[in-house]
Structure 1
């Protein structure tokens, strides 16, 4: 075996070992694989597409493992600085990954699988930088869209259509957050067409992940419903999302994922109706979110932190509805149930990234305050203030936190 070939084989073995690990355990193995691939590329007489593709995959895998390792940190270690450092490291690796994918040629043009993987890396990179630079995120998502479209022009594939749809939803959502709502509508519409095409090309009998595709489609519809202002249109989109999830549930009855997504859809329906003044409709939707969504997920996995968080979020909305209706006893029961839900979810903090974890801890503090446990709420809020994830002014003007002394 020649020097370059031997180096390539060693790099592939390291990559395979890394792929069997998760988070912090995977990071050093991916780093070793990257170094070995670079040696193999340097030793070859010409660009080796297999070595370049392996390098790109290892850089991408290392970036994702870095982010996962950060998410898994305990509360005392997961600070804003730690999250930012992990994001910066991941962004550098993803940038290098995309550059390597773009060197994987076949017959003088980019290989189709490299185009698709470059789109995936660009989408992840865009997600990493979305909070601090929306314009950069949109530029990266535009490049990802173009990569998927180029791949589809040469080889139509259900998964690539689904990836394109997810990317378009991501672009539309970032547009809305960046105050570019006018650009979001066409992107959402294009995404729905892409999901439709992906479904048309999929067949569960051939091993295609039809249930997963339906979940992604439903989450795309949910993202669209969250942005539209017209109540009737929003409810129509949520109804369609629920139908897709019911189809997914029928495919895989032992999975919690479609049930969690259904809970999210019905929770959004309840929030929309509550905002429109339809208390009865809102309460009915919220109860369905519990009984058909989150609690069903808990029957599959009782310890699911995502389900516990969903239950907590629903009870917050039910508490507010009860308070508006003047039913103080019912409101107190819902606040107590919500506090228990957040507490259960936060017992497994690694299920949530830094932002999600901070949001859950803040909401938990609000519930503690509503339950008359102001001292416990203050402890949580002081920790969040130290992390810089909340401002004292925001706490002071939050009605849920009235009476909490920091």
Structure 2
């Protein structure tokens, strides 16, 4: 093995690392392109070693494999993010499908490459964890077209996380396992596999508990982030629950976790937005159960404790605007059910204004979320007596392919809207 070959390997490795470092300072399409360039250089270095022209130290070869897999994964995630942030005229179903296909191919290769990173003939622990992360990212992409494939990928991610935890316990790995289990459980419930979904939800809650037990904010662990993820898992579990009483109990626990997180993150709107979402869902569950007074109180708390507090930190937050609009829709329905037409009209107007405000920043939302917001906005316009404006919004969604004529025809909010 020549000294020149080893020097060539090291030069390629260094160039790839520099490109990777540059990519990590960029976002979207720029990040994706730089990660792609880094992957090309890592592959050149690995091919040189495989040819026998260079004999790098085993640690350097493993590092090149690991970094290559990491660039493939981060490039895939940047590709999806770049597509989601496209302006309205460019963000189409075809664009999303193309980005998803590209990301899936990159993540497939990333997973295969992580699995080649060995330590004494066994998969390296950090590579197992990152492989599981890549599988989870792949599942998010796959879920848009094939929930069954997404469930399979999440099952594989769970196996990889567990394999890593058997060798080395880590709070973040437990938390990531819990997140993957929640996603898998939700897919099972939506596919009519409630028993399996319930089991996975139970495992997820145990994993969050274990992650918390291993975490200490004094040591720099992200305890507030873990509490937010735990609360989101509880929210997802509540949304799938068949019993409103159980759902409310889960949501109360989620709110408790979020208030703890708020104590850590006083300058962040993230736990406040999540708290608003939990209290909003709590209000919806109580309304479904026939507790109008309890629902109204929970919705008001979503406003005061969640979304308005988030706006005090970030006045232009599109997520807070959406949350307030969602609350107003539920308040309108409660008022209408109580026979208070005046209050219902005021709430519908507030909801319309909230959705309109959020849609001033469409790039903050991906295609699915943008379409849902515009659809909800159309419903509010119709309820406010602005049927022609609602029709215009709906026609654009029909042309985009994100809404069907059958959906529109079946929606009571859109009765009388001319299409």
TM class, shorter-length: over 0.9
Specify which of 211, 227, 249 is matched with residue 224 of structure 2. 211
Aligned to 2:170: 157
| Alignment partner, residue 32 of structure 1 | 37
Please, which of 9, 15, 34 is the counterpart of residue 14 of structure 2? 9
1:63 to 49, 52, 76: 76
Structure 2 partner of 1:146: 159
The one-character-per-residue Cα deviations of 1:219-260 (angstroms, maximum 9, x if unpaired) are 111111111111221111111100000100011111101001
Unaligned runs of 5+ in 1: none
Structure 1 residue 131: deviation in Å? Answer: 2.8
Give the C-alpha shift of residue 393 in structure 1. Answer: 2.1
Deviations 1:19-52 (CA, angstroms, capped at 9, x unpaired): 1000112111111111111101101146711111
Structure-1 residue corresponding to 2:368 = 355
Aligned to 2:407: 394
Partner of 2:416: 403
Across the aligned residues of Structure 1 and Structure 2, the Cα RMSD in angstroms comes to 1.0
Q: Which runs of 4+ in 1 moved over 4 A?
A: none
1:54 and 1:152 map into 2 onto residues whose CA distance is: 22
Distance, in Å, in 2 between the alignment partners of 1:251 and 1:105 is 38
Q: Report how far residue 392 of structure 1 moved.
A: 1.3
- Relative to the length of structure 1, the TM-score reads 0.98
Match of 1:116 among 126, 129, 145: 129
What is the distance in 1 between the residues matched to 2:406 and 2:168?
A: 54
1:264-306 deviation per Cα after TM superposition (whole angstroms, max 9, x unaligned):
1101111111111111111111011111011110110011111
Q: How many residues align?
A: 406
Q: Separation in 2 of the partners of 1:324 and 1:24?
A: 48
Question: Equivalents in 2 of 1:274, 1:76: separation in Å?
Answer: 38
Report the counterpart of residue 225 of structure 1 in structure 2.
238
Verify: 1:176 aligned to 2:181, yes or no.
Answer: no
Q: Secondary structure at the match of 2:106?
A: helix
Q: Which residue of 1 aligns with 2:3?
A: none
TM superposition shift of 1:179: 1.6
1:5-404 correspondence runs (5 A): 5-44=10-49, 45=52, 48-404=61-417
Partners of 1:211 and 1:393 in 2: CA distance: 43
Q: Compute the displacement of 1:380 (Å).
A: 0.8
CA distance in 2, matches of 1:132, 1:68: 17
